[in-house]
Amino acid sequence: MIENEKVEEIFLVLEDKLEKTQSVLREDYAAIRAGRANPHILDKVTVEAYGVMTPIKQLGNIAAADARCLVISPWDKSLLKAIEKAIQASNVGINPTNDGNVIRLVFPELTEERRKELVKQIKRMGEDAKVAVRNVRREAMEALKKLKTAKEISEDESKNSEIDVEKSISDAIEALDKAISAKEKELLTI
């Protein structure tokens, strides 16, 4: 068990950064469409409503009508045009249809080529997350080394702490690998 407060603080920062890296990857993956209607694809789309940029999900209901169609029902019908424009301006890649009451987003079936491009993209994103994790490891190891050099922790404490850092890093990379393979499987499933 860690008894040194400074070492404990290093581990708190380490765990926090690792969790943030994993959650950012999960959010990024949620925004990648896999040929199915996924309301999370609109998470980063904002609409100018009442003079303020507002996320779409705060302006109405977003529901999956079926496996390949999202329906956006704004609470204020006067915002239909603004929502439609925001979706077109975003990088979602789907043209909205506005019937005067709701906006529909129909997701086209993904081609094999597009699926492979998306798999490359998610692997690149996963690799970026792993690089971030390795940078977190480097920062933690440097902080431990400074404590050892300043004689604030013993040689044994330093070794044990480094082993604990490696364990945390390998757990984080394993979690990232699981997220990558799960998203890859989702994309390749027709």
Give the integer Cα–Cα distance in Å for 45 and 89.
9
Domain spans in the chain, listed from the N-terminal domain onward: 5-31+111-188, 39-106
| Per-residue pLDDT, 2 | 47
Domain 39-106 has CATH 3.70.10.10: no
Contact 79, 59 (CB under 8 A): yes
Identity of the residue numbered 74: P
Give the integer Cα–Cα distance in Å for 59 and 91.
19
Q: Is the pLDDT of residue 168 over 90?
A: yes
Q: Residue 106 — φ and ψ, nearest 5°?
A: -100, 120
Tens of pLDDT, residues 4-46: 788 899 999 999 999 999 999 988 887 776 666 778 778 788 8
Contact 136, 21 (CB under 8 A): yes
Out of 1.10.132.20, 3.40.50.300, 3.40.50.720, 3.40.190.10, the CATH code matching 5-31+111-188 is 1.10.132.20
